Amino acid sequence: MSLPTVSIVQSHHNTAALPPQPCPDSIKAVLPPDRCAVAQEMISNWEGYQSTPLLNLQGLANAVGIQSIFYKDESDRFGLRSFKALGGAYAVQQVLQQVLSQQPSSGSVSLTDINDGKFPNEVKNITVVTATDGNHGRSVAWGAERFGCECMIYMHANVSQARQEAVEAFGATVIRVDGNYDDSVRQADLDAKENGWHIVSDTSYPGYMEVPRDVMAGYTLMTTEAMDQLPESVIPSHVFIQGGCGGLAGAVCADLWFRYGKDMPHIVVVEPVPAACLYESAKAGEERIVNITEESLMAGLSCGEVSAIGWEILHAGARHFTTISDAPIGPLMQLLAKGVESDEPVVSGESAIAGIAGLIGAVNDDQLAREMNLDHQSRILIFGTEGATDPELYEALVGVPAEAVLS
């Protein structure tokens, strides 16, 4: 079986990463484990909760020349088709609880009260808002509908019509903004201040940390499920994790560190070349902004500004920061859709495939593979963060619709 050609375009060995050790208190302060535990408990009580599958892609591992690839398949998370269902919607639940708790008329309000719909009249007067390139907005809109509040979603000009319709299906109002993702974040922020709306962003910046911390706490449910699903004797040696603003990668890195301590896997962050804000920040040793002049096919990863919290965790915990081009994305999506040898077919979306692309690119580069200690004994954990979130694009890239892959 020949694999599509994949190359790592840029790579940075992060010598600022801490040597192997138990998760330091400084990281636990950034993303507190007890806050993650609360998020995990709440989300697992939502109606319809099911843990997503962890697939053992042995055929692909054989073709790549490593011991194993475990693929956490988020393509059907809560029917929203991406892991983002865990973050934005949970942060909406938190925001509603906090806003109602500040209203003397509501008395004491718990997160469970919000889930149980105990304050419908109060909740429907609250508006949540976010900027999105698709999946986070879908999660916030879904959470708003589920808990009964109003929702405004800001999308930049290049977000597809299909992604807009998916958000509108949950009753949210979509506002289009000229420019890129970062412009839509700024516009949402301005309008929220003017209208008294509550921002539920997945990216953190000075002065806005608490909501994104809850978003990331929600994401840790995915990592915790994966660690629980791995065979008992297996600790992954490497995790190739895709980076947008770094909220996802930061949450994954922290949660792995909480559980595995000094045995934490070697974390490799993978970003698209035109939106490599984490790579540039790692190279500079401090936060850097990338001006996005070209939208990557990996729409969910097309962010030019790092999340402050994500960056803080990754700066200390990730060992490599890499970039890839769009070229192998379609061929790799096709490969997973067919399945290598006896691997079952997987619906892996454009942003989901980045981890596999990074892995193959690194294995193909002898020097880099040595630097990363990647060899035939490596056990890789990958987060397949989305399925066919844009069904038309999926079909155009894979040649058949997602439903046909699964049948």
Ligand X SMILES: Cc1ncc(COP(=O)(O)O)c(C=O)c1O
Contact between 58 and 101 (Cβ < 8 Å)? no
The one among 53, 247, 328, 330 contacting ligand X by CB under 6 A: 247
Q: What is the size of the binding site for ligand X (CB under 6 A)?
A: 20
Indicate the residue among 237 and 385 with the shorter CB distance to ligand X. 385
Per-residue b or e along 260-282, where b marks 16 or more CB atoms closer than 10 Å to that residue's CB = beeebbbbbbbbbebbbbbbbbb
Q: Which of residues 75-94 bind ligand X (CB under 6 A)?
A: 82, 84
Residue closer to ligand X (CB basis): 42 or 306: 306
Identify the active-site residue in 72, 73, 113, 133: 133
From residue 146, alpha-carbon distances to 7, 206, 221 in Å are 42, 30, 19
Site for ligand X in 191-230 (CB under 6 A): 202
Q: Is 385 in the site for ligand X (CB under 6 A)?
A: yes
Instruction: Measure CA of the first residue to CA of the last residue in the chain; give whole Å.
Output: 23
C-alpha span between 311 and 329 (Å, rounded): 25
Shortest distance in whole angstroms from residue 157 CB to ligand X: 17
Question: Which residues does residue 82 pair with via DSSP β-bridges, in sequence order?
Answer: 386
Touching ligand X, residues 266-305 (CB under 6 A): 300-301, 303
* Residue range at the interface with ligand X (CB under 6 A); choices 56-64, 115-123, 242-250, 392-400: 242-250
As measured in angstroms, the least distance from the Cβ of 279 to ligand X is 12
What's phi and psi for 384, nearest 5 deg? -85, 85
Which among 43-51, 112-120, 123-131, 240-248 is the span making contact with ligand X, rule CB under 6 A?
Answer: 240-248
Q: Known catalytic residue: 84?
A: yes
Of the ranges 21-29, 245-253, 257-265, 398-406, which one interacts with ligand X (CB under 6 A)? 245-253
Helix (H) or strand (E) holding 115: helix 111-115
Contact region for ligand X (CB under 6 A) — 54-62, 89-97, 247-255, 281-289? 247-255
Helix axis angle for 329-338 and 391-398, nearest 10°, is 90
Among 40, 93, 97, 135, binds ligand X (CB under 6 A): 135
Smallest distance, ligand X to C-beta of residue 241, A: 9
Cα dihedral 89, 253, 389, 61, rounded to 10, equals -150
Site for ligand X in 36-75 (CB under 6 A): none
At 279, the amino acid letter reads Y
386 binds ligand X (CB under 6 A): yes
Outline where 196-318 has alpha helix (H): 210-229, 247-260, 277-284, 308-317
Name the active-site residue from 72, 73, 84, 214: 84
Amino acid at 364: N
Distance CA(327)–CA(18), nearest Å, equals 33
Task: Extract the tokens encoding 397.
Answer: 């890239």
In order of 109, 160, 388, 394, 406, the CA distances from 401 in angstroms are: 44, 17, 9, 7, 9
Q: At closest approach, how far in Å is the CB of 324 from ligand X? A: 14
Q: Which is nearer to ligand X, 17 or 382 (CB)?
A: 382
Site string for ligand X, 342-381 (x = CB under 6 A): ---------xx-----------------------------
What per-residue string of b and e applies to 356-380 under the rule 16 or more CB within 10 Å gives b? bbbbbbbbbbeebbeebebeeebbb
User: Applying CB under 6 A, which of residues 236, 243, 265, 361 lies at the interface with ligand X?
Assistant: 243
Instruction: Give the residues lining the site for ligand X (CB under 6 A).
Output: 82, 84, 135-136, 202, 242-249, 300-301, 303, 351-352, 385-386
User: What amino acid positions are annotated as catalytic residues?
Assistant: 84, 133
